[in-house]
Amino acid sequence: MSESGATKNKINVTPFLFVLKSGLLLFAFYFVTRCVFYLLNLEYFSAQSNVSIVYAFLHGVRFDAASIALLNSPLMLSLFVLAWFKSWSRFVLSASVGYFLLVNGGSLTLNLIDSAYFPYTGKRSGLESLSMMRDVSMQMPQLIAGYWVLALITCSVLCLLVVAVLLMKKRLPKVEVSIGGYVLIVVIATVSLVFLARGGLQAKPIRSLTAYSWPNSDLGSLVLNTSFTFMREKASDIKRLDFYDSEKVAYDLLEKSPIKITSNVSEKSQNVVVIILESFGLEYFGPPYGQKNYTPFLTSLSQKGRFFPFGIANGRRSIEAIPSIFSGIPSLLPEAFMRSSYQSNKVYGLGELVKRHGYQTAFFHGAKNGSMYFDDTTYRLGFDEYYGENEHPNSDDFDGQWGIFDEPFLQFTAQTLDALQPPFLAGVFTISSHPPYSLPEKYQDVIPEGDIPMHRVVQYSDMALKKFFEVAANKEWFKDTLFVITADHTSDNYDKRFATPLGRHQIPIILYHPNGGVKPEVVHEIAQQVDIPATVIDYLNLPEGDRLMPFGRSLLQPTEYDEAIIKEEGAYWLLLHNQYVKLTFDGLPVYDMGILPPSFGLLESDGLKKENSQSNKKILRERINSYTQLYINGLIDNNHYPNLMKTTQ
């Protein structure tokens, strides 16, 4: 055969060489993004040894390879076909470069952005985070300004990627192979892509849960990359559970006590004000809980009320707290309940329940109206009025990013509450104890610095709360009002005892009545956000027990089971007394049990006294099975109210 004939029968595989070299280069860029993720969240991993961190980086290569293979598989599949068109070779190479930069540049950007979002969720983001895009777009200029260092790093990484890829393209030799050689390349490329995308030769492809298996579960988020969780984890991917024959059986096993009045309420109708303090973790309280007290007023208030220092946030984000606190549903989905495909399920909000008995309802949140859909969510939960930034009378009180500073907005709240017709239920949500840690100008030289920026804004919000109570104390409705004070979630950890999967859920819960309606007491029991609806209904002595979800209890009643249920590290956790059980599903349910970490050190251990006794294990296993079945099947069946179930169930 002539030389020209042989050339005609050859296939240009230069684009394949480009993808191979560029793909290998990507490992270095993924390493950089993991370093940024680690450094920006150093406190989260502070309890881990250096050896474990190194192992986490090594294990992460497996997930990086899977992401690279999955993202670039469409390009490779296209090249399998386009390589036959020899006249298109220059176009194909240029198009390959464009695809590579666009897709992989976007992937790296996603990983870097998630480095800043991670502290608010405690996990790598997935498709559920797309529901936050509206809020992100509204605040894009402020976010770029607040995270300018990360924005600069992202731009630098992308520029380096573009330069490296273009230089590589320029230096690529033209490579042609025979048809037989091309077929061999296709086979090798296909096998390699499948091998990398599934994470090896094991029976099942890797998934996020795999990342938590080694070196230890606390490092799963460092092992993962956000591109992987976006591609491999489905939102609301739940399947029916059958631990028990029916949800009625599961509910009966929990032995929930009926709601009955136990408070010292006067004959006069009582108001309720639920105050949610942004990011107020227990560690900001002083000894014996935290290292130093940054909440002097809240601490003094806790001494006048029924104080649960071992409260648990049922989620890790503000958007998860509202349904937990006002409807009693824990946050056990990958995405927030009110953003999930189950958001239209029947939910009896606390506002709806009290309105049946003549209550006026209002919700106050100083952020921009529409932020995280709080207005729509609170309307859904029975609040008739919503007061946000738009309703605040003075725009000069804007903090530059989120909304109105706490002090002026809480003063506005106190005055507006005075205009409500008792009895009323009000929700109040503060915003200032949050990055970027802004303070009003007049307090810049007044409020001292703490060990971390969060300490300063917590002091400011505590001071604002004190001034709110000083004004409210002079109102006619004050003496007939139950105040429920808690937090939406925790935030930055300085005290390393709280830098654990469970410690990051520890918040205070305080029930305070200025006229003695609740006996002052420090209660060393587990409490949780989803206990609040039952507590309020109990306190008000309303006949609405059947419209309470089965996950909470009244904090006014004694209980044999002080407990909380959360989802963390891709697993369900039940905290019961001084112990926990962790439930994961890997084909079959897997249980891990242990004693609560040191941040729960003052918990009384009555009830479950021996960590490994068979009876304790049985109780823990049965209760977490019951709760998860009630939760999951309740979502699927649109029925989270066991006492309203049809008798046929």
Q: What is the pLDDT at residue 262?
A: 47
d(CA 649, CA 647): 5
Q: How far apart are the C-alpha atoms of 637 and 385, rounded to whole Å?
A: 31
For residue 279, the one-letter residue type is: S
Buried b (16+ CB within 10 A) or exposed e, 177-189: beeeebeebbeeb
**220 and 288 belong to one structural domain:** no
468 falls within a domain: yes
Sign of CA dihedral 111, 117, 119, 125: negative
> Residues 6 or more apart from 460 whose CB is under 8 A from it?
406, 407, 432, 433, 439, 440, 443, 447
For residue 393, is the peptide bond before it cis, meaning its omega torsion is within 30 degrees of 0?
no
Residue 296 shares a structural domain with residue 202 = no
pLDDT per residue as tens digits for the range 566-588: 999 889 999 999 999 999 987 78
Output the CA torsion sign for 639, 643, 646, 649: positive
595 strand-pairing partners: 579
pLDDT band, very low/low/confident/very high, at 138 (cuts 50, 70, 90)? low
Contact 66, 206 (CB under 8 A): yes
* Alpha carbons 55 and 49: distance in angstroms, whole number: 10
Alpha helices in 523-604 (DSSP H): 532-540
Between 97 and 138, residue with greater pLDDT: 97
Among 232, 256, 271, the domain boundary falls at: 232
Q: Indicate if 228 and 296 belong to the same structural domain.
A: no
Residue 239 in domain: no
- Do residues 136 and 143 lie in contact, with contact meaning Cβ atoms separated by under 8 Å? yes
What are the backbone dihedrals phi and psi of residue 12, each rounded to the nearest 5 degrees, phi first? Answer: -75, 115
**Residue 214, pLDDT above cutoff 90:** no
Q: What is the mean pLDDT of residues 208-221?
A: 81
Out of 232, 263, 295, a domain closes at 232
At 607 the three-state DSSP class reads coil
Predicted confidence band of residue 259 (pLDDT cuts 50, 70, 90)? low
Range in 263-277, 374-388, 589-603 with the lowest mean pLDDT: 263-277
Does some domain include residue 399?
Answer: yes
Report the number of secondary-structure helices (H) and strands (E) in the chain: 20, 15
Residue 173 belongs to a domain: yes
At 177, phi and psi to the nearest 5?
Answer: -135, 165
pLDDT recorded at residue 7: 56
In a domain, 241, yes or no: no
Whether 216 and 305 map to the same domain: the answer is: no
Cα separations in angstroms, 92 against 82, 84, 178, 188, 192: 7, 11, 19, 21, 22
What confidence score (pLDDT) does residue 137 get?
A: 66
Residue 269 or 314, more confident: 314
User: 232, 258, 279 — which closes off a domain?
Assistant: 232
CA distance 228 to 163: 25
Give the CA distances from residue 621 to residues 329, 544, 572, 606, 642, in Å, rounded to whole numbers and listed in that order. Answer: 21, 30, 11, 18, 20
Question: Rounded mean pLDDT of 622-648?
Answer: 86
Task: Count up the domains in the chain and report the number.
Answer: 2
CA 224 to chain centre: 16
* Residues 225 and 262 grouped into a single domain: no
Instruction: State whether 351 and 222 are in the same domain.
Output: no
Together in a domain, 450 and 564: yes
Inside any domain, residue 34: yes
Q: Nearest CA to 164 among 101, 81, 83?
A: 101
More confident residue, 512 or 380: 512
**Quick check: is 451 in a domain?**
yes
**Is residue 562 scored above 50 in pLDDT?**
yes
Instruction: Give the confidence band of 2 by pLDDT, cuts at 50, 70, 90.
Output: very low
181 and 268 co-located in one domain: no
* Per-residue pLDDT tens digits for 52-104: 999 999 999 999 999 999 999 999 999 998 888 876 778 889 999 999 999 99
pLDDT at 3: 47
Amino acid in position 13: V
**Residue 373 Rama label (left phi>0; alpha psi -120 to 50; beta):** left
Same domain (yes/no): 179, 252 = no
Q: Which 8-state DSSP code applies to residue 362?
A: E
Q: Are residue 501 and residue 405 in the same domain, yes or no?
A: yes
Identify the H or E element spanning 274: strand 271-277
Q: Would you say residue 15 has pLDDT above 50?
A: yes
pLDDT of residue 195: 96
Q: What is this structure's pTM?
A: 0.79
Judge whether residue 392 has pLDDT over 90. Answer: yes
Q: What is the pLDDT of residue 648?
A: 33
Q: What is the dihedral of CA 108, 109, 110, 111, to 10 degrees?
A: 50
Phi, psi angle pair for 18, to nearest 5°: -60, -45
Q: Are residues 332 and 447 in the same domain?
A: yes
CATH of the domain at 533: 3.40.720.10
- Least confident among 138-147, 365-374, 621-630: 138-147
pLDDT at 609: 47
- Please indicate, yes or no, whether residues 72 and 28 belong to a single structural domain of this protein: yes
Rg of the chain over all Cα atoms, to the nearest angstrom: 28
- Domain residues for the domain of 345 are 247-644
Mean local confidence (pLDDT), 252-278: 77
Give pLDDT tens digits for 459-507: 999 999 999 999 999 999 999 999 999 999 999 889 999 999 999 999 9
The whole-number pLDDT of residue 604 equals 60
Q: Is residue 240 assigned to a domain? A: no
